[in-house]
Amino acid sequence: MSKGLVVKKGFGMIVLWVLAFVCLAFLAYVRLAPSDPTVWHVAPSSHDDKSFSNGVIRQVPSGQDGLRRMDIIVSSDPRTQKLAGDVASGMITYVSRSRMVGFPDYTTMVQSGEDLVIYARSRFGRKDFGVNAARVNRWVDALTAY
């Protein structure tokens, strides 16, 4: 085996190890990065139903106690935790994490009279492949059945 081939093979292994480290560091960052309530606990800018590439806004008729009932539903959802707010303040933000990697999605709910306004969005990426809409729809279905 020539010396040049050994150097190339060694260099290739170093590149693979560096790539593996970068991937693991990114996954650790996604899992461990703090969620700043001043950034994510914000009311939606619109109350109109809207879908975008990494989230949704939904306005749902819920009655005056919609936020209280939805808080019960969401609090029992796996991998979802309250980030900020409470029923008394009329606004709550939750963090839901994906099963495998732990990507965080943020959902803010605001009681607006007889309606509940739900604003769900991803933290990382430009597209969520409909995950936020599906989660919000599941929660709204549970609220309707409540």
pLDDT tens digits for range 67-98: 999 999 999 999 999 999 999 999 999 999 98
pTM for the structure as a whole: 0.85
Residues with Cβ within 8 Å of residue 133, at least 6 apart in sequence: 51, 55, 56, 120
**Where would I find the H helices in the chain?**
3-32, 37-40, 66-75, 131-145
Show the tokens assigned to 39: 């950034």
Q: 113: closest CA among 45, 66, 72?
A: 66
Question: What residues does each domain of the chain span?
Answer: 1-32, 36-145
Residues with Cβ within 8 Å of residue 140, at least 6 apart in sequence: 58, 60, 118
Per the model's pLDDT, the better-predicted residue between 102 and 36 turns out to be 36
Which pLDDT value is given to residue 30?
75
Q: Which fold has domain 36-145?
A: TATA-Binding Protein (3.30.310)
